[in-house]
Homo-oligomer: A and B are copies of this chain.
Amino acid sequence: MAATPRLDHDALDDDTLDALDAWCRAADYLSVGQLYLLENPLLLRPLAPEHVKARLLGHFGTVPGLNLVYAHANRAIRERDLRALYIAGPGHGGPAMVAGAWLDGTYSERYPEITQDADGMARLFRQFSFPGGIPSHAAPETPGSIHEGGELGYSLSHAYGAAFDNPDLTVFCVIGDGEAETGPLATAWHGNKFLNPVTDGTVLPILHLNGWKIANPTVLARIPDDELLSLLRGYGHEPLLVDVEKGDDPRVAHRRFAAALDHALDRIAEIRRAASEGDDARPVWPMIVLRSPKGWRGPDTVDGDPVEGTWRAHQVPVDDVRENADHRDVLERWMRSYRPDELFDADGRPVDTLRALVPDGDRRLSATPDANGGRREDLALPAVGSFAVPVETPGAEDAGAMATLGDWLAEVIRANPTTFRLFGPDETASNRLAPAVYAATDKQWAADRSPLDEHLARAGRVMEVLSEHQCQGWLEGYLLTGRHGVFTSYEAFVHIVDSMFNQHAKWLESAADVDWRAPISSFTYLLSSHVWQQDHNGFTHQDPGFLDVVLDKSADIVRTYLPFDANTLLVTMAHCLRGTDRINVVVAGKQPAPQWLDLETASAHCARGLGALDWAGSGGDRAPDVVLAAAGDVPTVEAIAAAQLLRDHAPEVAVRVVNVVDLGRLSTPEQHPHGLPDDDFDALFPPGTPVVFAFHGYPWTIHRLTYRRRAHDDLHVHGYRERGTTTTPFDMLMMNDLDRYALAVDALERMPQGHDRYSALIADLRERRRAALAHTRAHGTDITDVTGWRFRPSDAGATPRPSEK
């Protein structure tokens, strides 16, 4: 296979070449300064030990390439009046993005103390990777960034997410060749099978092959050109190869890169024009391979070891600079090689050549509202009222919570035709959001189509690809650029994106301290195919542990909701979609199930986040002998059924049933902003009264939330105990002691003299449980008195109203 032609740009005039070269020298200089210097930023004096930081914490290797792309993006933005976003994928690219923002002038606008002069430059240098300063990544503190690049692999997914529904936007996405080895990045290339060239924006991937990771070569830098180009064509791209070699005249490098970029942007314009004129074939989008030496134009050798173009340039190319005069000399010569006196005036201000390359206002990469939440508008949210399930009597009728939600989501889609999307691996239908959602929209799909396809179209609000990483990354990019959406996933497999969740939570937590960032819409997980409805898929599909990962993150950011019927799900989702700067996890079943609360009651219950269900307990004013608590739809049914067993067979026992929708309420107010005050908690769960808690997830999750509560010693949690297989729903409950019989027996045994007084009843309940198990094993179905069970409200249940007691 032939390599791509070596492109060269004859038309680039000398002034532009000078400006590009000056920008790169300035940005490289500013990056090195951030890594090394405490003072003497312009090197007006000889470099002395005290000018250098005591701890050198930063990475140079990727920086010159990032700066090159930044400079050329600026040229293209100015020449073509582009609206553009820059995503820097390589790790520790922070210095480059900060340097660019400072040259743009944005940095000083955002942080007035970092002036665009020598003093500001000194502060810029000092704060980098310094206690009380800024991180070494393109973090939330970095103007123009929506992508931190601390954990690698997500740049291209973020780029596609930013481009969806952003038809005027060009996303320059630099992908590190280390990052390119990760799984999420390796599949992110297929984002081009989902992009619509008319209604979406453009992603221009720039694969930065600088050859090395921390201590190893990169895979893609060590395969033959033919193979590399074949791979990229296989991804559906037209690859344009730009080679920069050690010692190359920078002007040659600039001409080559400019030629590739102009070719790519011309081609993109053609593709978009053809598409707008009706060509609906999937385009072959261009992409650029920038092969340049790691730490390009850094020290050639240090102590005789080669550095530029090797893994030794990954972090600080020369260390021990305070102590070692030779090393200090290397650093000084290196920094002076950029000729700072040509780049900054005597006061340290960038010279006009540099200023001339800066785009105007919001068009600056560091100032675009796409990167700071500035384009966000509130979602138009239809009222849930007309979608609610009517509930006259609690538990009298069955309905599917997800199907109900689907009806409402269809309206959300209709009301927000260009700013709201649903993302998921392949499960919108299986989660019962269809058929409603597909009456309102289609799945967007740019690849080949077949007459057998259903609901696939060139444009649509539903994005399905069998990669949780893509779904997560796309939605993050979509939200970070000011839009709205939901990610639906199997509960067990959302663990695939645990680390992406962590990183997004960290981003939101840091971003909360950055005053120039506008709020972005909350990230909402809707986990519908949950552990108690994976009986048919077996043990591999049964895992409620994502809640524990989520609860590890800051209580200021994360919210966990377990609505227990259709109306509480509706109310919860409406709340989540209105929110900003949070991560919501909503767990809700998709199977038809009893409906408990009418809309008004559901709204009140969700507002409180937890409460007693009077109609399920013994009622009256008596203090409870036992509390049956539950969080989650299936556990709540079991707790209600267990209470009914007690009401029927031990009517003298005062039982209270409590449902928890918002897990945050279980924590104390000091631990979580939603934490219930201790007195209210004690009123609901009186200390000294046994509480049998039926929980959707792992039992200790409830313990970790409640360990500070007075009632904690009386709390006995049933939950998923990591027992499962392919079986029936009720068998799953029995395997984990979460079934109504186990709950009722536990409640009876925990009452004073419970075991003695109720031994006959306990024996009877155990026998019914054994019969249920025997029936299941014999027939492969659940016993009729379980599956055919109907709730009967207590006398206290005249109205289906929960109360806080």
Contacts and interface: CB of A to CB of B under 8 A. Distances in A.
A334 interface: no
B132 A777 contact: yes
A234 B228 contact: yes
B707 A215 contact: no
Interface in A195-230: 213-219, 222-224, 227-230
**Interface-central residue, A150, A213, A234, by most chain B CB under 10 Å:** A234
Interface string A148-187: 1011110000000000000000000000001101111111
A131 B727 contact: yes
A181 B471 CA distance: 12
A726 B135 contact: yes
A449 interface: yes
Contact of A234 (B134, B232, B450, B470): B232
A376 interface: no
Contacts of A216: 426, 443, 456, 464
Interface stretch (A100-108, A502-510, A614-622, A636-644): A502-510
Interface stretch (A18-26, A323-331, A488-496, A686-694): A488-496
A314 to B, nearest CB: 10
A545 interface: yes
A4 to B, nearest CB: 14
Interface string A435-446: 000000001010
A181 B467 contact: yes
A57 B533 CA distance: 13
A553 interface: yes
A276 interface: no
B233 A465 contact: no
Contacts of A430: 214-215
B493 A151 contact: yes
Nearest to A466: B181
Contacts of A230: 230-231, 233-234
Contact of A54 (B139, B193, B450, B780): B780
A530 interface: no
A493 B179 CA distance: 13
Interface string A49-73: 0000111010000000000000000
Chain A residues touching B, range = 35 or more
A548 interface: yes
A54 B453 CA distance: 30
Name A's interface SS.
Answer: loop
A217 B151 contact: no
Interface in A682-725: 698, 700-701, 703-704, 707, 712, 722, 725
A233 B224 contact: no
A310 interface: yes
A776 interface: yes
What is the oligomeric copy number? 2
A448 interface: yes
Contacts of A55: 536, 728, 780-781
A193 B231 CA distance: 14
Contact of A498 (B183, B429, B549): B549
A207 to B, nearest CB: 13
Interface in A586-620: none
Contact of A137 (B139, B236, B540, B776): B540
Contacts of A133: 726-727
Contacts of A704: 700-701, 703-704, 707
Contacts of A552: 545, 548, 698, 722
Interface string A770-795: 00000011011100000000000000
A495 to B, nearest CB: 4
Contacts of A426: 178, 213-216
Given A537-B150, A549-B498, A509 B722 contact: yes
A131 B181 contact: no
A1 interface: yes
Contacts of A707: 700, 703-704, 707, 712
Interface string A100-134: 00000000000000000000000000000111111
A499 interface: yes
B151 A780 contact: no
B57 A726 contact: yes
A609 to B, nearest CB: 20
A152 B453 CA distance: 23
Given A700-B707, A780-B130, A466 B222 contact: no
A227 B234 contact: yes
A152 B722 contact: no
A540 B151 contact: yes
A740 B788 CA distance: 61
Contact of A187 (B186, B222, B728): B186
Nearest to A493: B151
**Interface-central residue, A236, A443, A448, A452, by most chain B CB under 10 Å:** A452
Contacts of A151: 492-493, 496, 540-541
A715 to B, nearest CB: 9
A387 interface: no
Contacts of A222: 193, 447-450
B539 A135 contact: yes
**Interface-central residue, A135, A182, A218, A443, by most chain B CB under 10 Å:** A182
A737 interface: no
7 contacts: A129-B536, A133-B726, A150-B541, A151-B492, A213-B466, A231-B234, A502-B545
Given A182-B466, A183-B470, A219-B447, 10 more contacts: A54-B780, A130-B727, A133-B727, A215-B427, A222-B448, A224-B448, A227-B236, A492-B499, A509-B722, A707-B707
Nearest first, the 7 closest Cβ-Cβ pairs linking A and B are: A150-B540, A231-B234, A183-B183, A186-B187, A495-B499, A186-B186, A230-B234
